[in-house]
Structure 1
């Protein structure tokens, strides 16, 4: 049965009232891709650290490995942010994991009883259903991070069979303005801790549904590997029990 969820419009003033001056948030009704929008600002040298663009609908949204990301207008929280890390560039790939951690902490702040987890490398999950995903691209001296969270989607609106939404799990706050504000506040805190050299891997591992699981890693070239996931590196690679490291691939949790 479908869940009918209220879909308050994104409002930059509401978001800004609930975040620090660290961020500069813009809201657009329709765009091709918020990632491309920020990339254009970077190319024009107009992007600042803390730039955020959120949209009601994007016609060319994409996920990891350039997969298309579809969402009905106002049914998902879709945004990109731009940061200029001061850590060594080799460490930047951990930011995808840090972003996922920020997302589930932000949701838990809004509802302490809510327990989403993270599936390596970039899926936000509730049970076995994917509620959100993250992509990141290095551009110049910064990183553009894109986030998509299924907020008010009904069962009929879900893009794929293994997807889910906050509404379908009776999450009590479906106002995307408040969810985005909570995310940005949380990301700011974790990013500054990471910038200061803190090792945040333990926080990620504690909230990862992949850790301790027997997994199959399916590589883009069609090959695969199986093993037990035990940890992640400082750069976000998945470490298997045999000591091997995984940098890219789809993870299947084996039961």
Structure 2
């Protein structure tokens, strides 16, 4: 019998078993591959903050840090969020694109990661996913689009980028932070095995990152721009862009340009490229 004040066991929720770090390392770390190390910690504030500090001190490319619980996760626009322990995938990776990739193309990394996460989960979880520009992962729950994940990319030191990924896996309806959130479980995924899902996402990310870097970061030559466009739920929609400085711009999302910006066509016939801000899906175009 467990004492009332005893600390919770890592097996306290049998529906949410801990990750198998040894098996993950065996499956992902190999000579010549991207992933150089993989660590799993029981809990942390933010895997991005933890890895950013280490990357700034020279941590090698391909380091992966996974948290079973993240208590102060950070999203775009400095948003904060948290989730129950072992209810999702919360991890960050260190990437160093190198001198052959111009710095101005680093802006494609969060979009690249979105494509990798969506394609990896489609295979590993058997669930249809789409992307809301620039880096939200959407799933379908009872006929509605719901956000089930997000991506945050940050520069960390000379030439390093830390990319953080959060995906709601087994989150139940009563555990959702907001009614518009979703999870793979609520989207009827065929697998909620986090080991399988993490391997699928990291292998997909390794593939897409390798092709993009081999093309010197060119989104067209690497096929990234085409893949992102095909999977982006924002395109063809009437949207409202909430821009820095309390400005707003309304129009139809018609393209993602070569710099990864969302191109809006306004009612007056003008086109504007949006590189920063929050996008609100107003309705389906037409």
Structure 1 gap ranges (5+): none
Deviation, 1:221, is 2.9
For 1:58 and 1:199, how far apart are their aligned partners in 2?
Answer: 33
The answer to whether the Cα contact below 8 Å between 1:7 and 1:174 also exists between their aligned partners in 2 is no
**Partner-residue secondary structure (3-state), 1:228:** strand
For 1:6 and 1:136, how far apart are their aligned partners in 2?
Answer: 31
After the TM superposition, which of the residue ranges 177-186 and 6-15 deviates more from structure 2? Answer: 6-15
Task: Choose 1 or 2 for highest CA Rg.
Answer: 2
Match of 1:116 in 2: 129
Structure 1 residues 222 and 115, CA gap change in structure 2 (3 angstroms) = same
Deviation, 1:234, is 2.7
TM-score (norm 2): 0.83
**1:216 pairs with 2:240:** yes
One of 151, 168, 184 as aligned partner of 1:150: 168
Deviation, 1:61, is 1.1
Structure 1 residues 119 and 26, CA gap change in structure 2 (3 angstroms) = same
CA RMSD between the two structures: 1.6
The answer to whether the Cα contact below 8 Å between 2:53 and 2:156 also exists between their aligned partners in 1 is no
Deviation, 1:18, is 2.5
Deviation, 1:199, is 4.2
Moved over 4 A (4+): none
For 2:52 and 2:278, how far apart are their aligned partners in 1?
Answer: 26
After the TM superposition, which of the residue ranges 23-32 and 240-249 deviates more from structure 2? Answer: 240-249
For 1:11 and 1:35, how far apart are their aligned partners in 2?
Answer: 21
TM-score (norm 1): 0.93
Match of 2:55 in 1: 42
**1:139 pairs with 2:159:** no
The answer to whether the Cα contact below 8 Å between 1:82 and 1:145 also exists between their aligned partners in 2 is yes
Q: How many residues align?
A: 250
**Partner-residue secondary structure (3-state), 1:191:** helix
Deviation, 1:8, is 2.0
Match of 2:193 in 1: 175
